[in-house]
Amino acid sequence: MTTFLLVPGLFMGGWAWEAVTAELTAQGHRALGVTLPGMAERAGEDPAGVGLGEHTDAVTALLDSEGPGVVLVAHSYGIFPALAAADRRPGQVARVVFVDTGFPEPGESVVAQMPQLGLLDRVLGGVIPVPEEIPAVHAVPPAELERYHRLATPQPVRTVTEPIELTGAWLKLPTTGVFCLANGLSLEFARTLHGTGLPRFAKLAEPGVTFFELATGHYPMLSAPVELAGVLVRAAAGEGVGLYED
């Protein structure tokens, strides 16, 4: 049995992982969809006063209670608090799985890494409102799309403006990247990044780093939960391809 901690991206809570956790549980694993402070059912916890530090503390506390041997899964923004927590507690983490996201450098914030999102253009009262739509390219079924708009909550702005604190301890951990092809991430793109020779992309080709590709969009926990759960189980077993494998 493997324990999976699943950290969601922007605007989402543990609810986003329900179909994935159900599938993992059916396969005999322990799976916990994480709701971070200020989000979803925890939205009453003064979201305007919540930052990346509080999100990191929450994931760290879960690692302390669930580890060692946890497979830490993070989608999109979730890699910021998840990676910061893994960096604090590397002995608790068996593998970090990046779901359609990259990894930040020490001192980098979400808005610094992804300025193209324009997150700060929409800030209202210390939070970022939920986007009005998820583009059709992401293949989210109508029922899941309705559920997203019903359950999604505004994102505390400090979670995307505060810089991540990393010592580099996480770099020694096995990792797996799950690329969602409809969103533009792929093995080919990762090879291009590694080919730049920039130090921040060196880990992509290291031993113990594997990759999967899913033919879906940026929200695979909503659009392809069974397929994603299968990939997570395989990732936990160390499966997947290396950066330059066929």
CATH, residue 151: 3.40.50.1820
Assigned domain for 135 exists: yes
Residue-wise pLDDT for 168-209, tens only, equals 999 999 999 999 999 999 999 999 999 999 999 999 999 999
Assigned domain for 38 exists: yes
Residue-wise pLDDT for 74-94, tens only, equals 999 999 999 999 999 999 999
Q: Which two tokens stand for residue 119?
A: 């997150």
Judge whether residue 31 has pLDDT over 80: yes
Assigned domain for 183 exists: yes
Q: Which domain holds residue 104?
A: 3-236
The reported pLDDT for the residue numbered 232 is 98
Number of folded domains that form the chain: 1
pLDDT higher at 124 or 129:
129
Q: How confident is the model at residue 45 (pLDDT cuts 50, 70, 90)?
A: low
Instruction: Sort 18 into a burial class: Cβ within 10 Å, 0-12 / 13-18 / 19+.
Output: middle
The reported pLDDT for the residue numbered 95 is 98
Assigned domain for 144 exists: yes
Using CA atoms, how far apart are residues 237 and 127, in angstroms rounded to an integer?
A: 38
Assigned domain for 244 exists: no
Residue-wise pLDDT for 96-118, tens only, equals 999 999 999 999 999 998 888 78
Q: Which two tokens stand for residue 28?
A: 């005999």
Q: How confident is the model at residue 48 (pLDDT cuts 50, 70, 90)?
A: confident
Judge whether residue 241 has pLDDT over 70: yes
* For the chain, percent of residues with pLDDT exceeding 70: 99
Residue 16's H or E segment, with its range, is none
